[in-house]
């Protein structure tokens, strides 16, 4: 067992995009849109957190290889009932980068939750409507050798 040996695989361009969603209360979404979140701009903080997480995936998921990423991009869309997040990663590597994209989007969503949790709690301190869902690989691609 252990890590997959990728020694003999060629270094090629690889990219992946992952997405997910956090469901939030309408009042929370209005405060985000108005720039009224106590901890600051949740999108900026979640973007940095997601980028850092993607770059450190090998420290979080034991069987992942350490892959130097060429780019990490995090994007957010406010939708009627929450925020949709996406993480795009690209590298020249011997193995895929979909785990990096998944970790990046997951940490971005967790960071959004942390930034607004004081608004999402009910009287008992619970989160009855807050949900992270639909975390998935949207697409992954790999180029040809020397691409």
Task: Look up residue 10 and give its two tokens.
Answer: 């060629």
For the chain, what is the radius of gyration of the CA atoms?
17
As separate numbers, helices (DSSP H) first and strands (DSSP E) second, the chain gives 4, 4
Would you say 13 and 92 are in contact if contact means Cβ atoms under 8 Å apart? Answer: yes
Dist CA 145 CA 147 (whole Å): 5
Residues 6+ apart with CB under 8 A from 112: 22, 42, 43, 46, 76, 83, 85
Residue 147 falls in the annotated catalytic set: no
Q: Which of 5, 70, 114, 134 is catalytic?
A: 114
d(CA 135, CA 1): 27
Positions marked active-site: 114
């Amino acid at each position: 067992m252990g890590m997959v040996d990728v020694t003999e695989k060629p270094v090629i361009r690889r990219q992946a995009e992952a997405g997910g969603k956090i469901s939030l209360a309408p009042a929370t979404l209005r405060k985000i849109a108005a720039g009224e979140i106590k901890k600051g701009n949740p999108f900026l903080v979640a973007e940095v957190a997601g980028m850092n997480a993607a770059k450190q995936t090998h420290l979080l998921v034991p069987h992942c290889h350490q892959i130097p990423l060429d780019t990490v991009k995090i994007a957010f869309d406010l939708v009627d009932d929450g925020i949709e997040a996406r993480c795009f990663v690209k590298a020249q590597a011997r193995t895929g980068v979909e785990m990096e994209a998944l970790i990046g989007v997951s940490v971005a969503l967790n960071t959004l939750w942390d930034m607004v949790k004081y608004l999402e709690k009910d009287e008992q301190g619970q989160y009855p409507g807050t949900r992270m869902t639909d975390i998935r690989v949207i697409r992954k691609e790999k180029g040809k050798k020397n691409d």
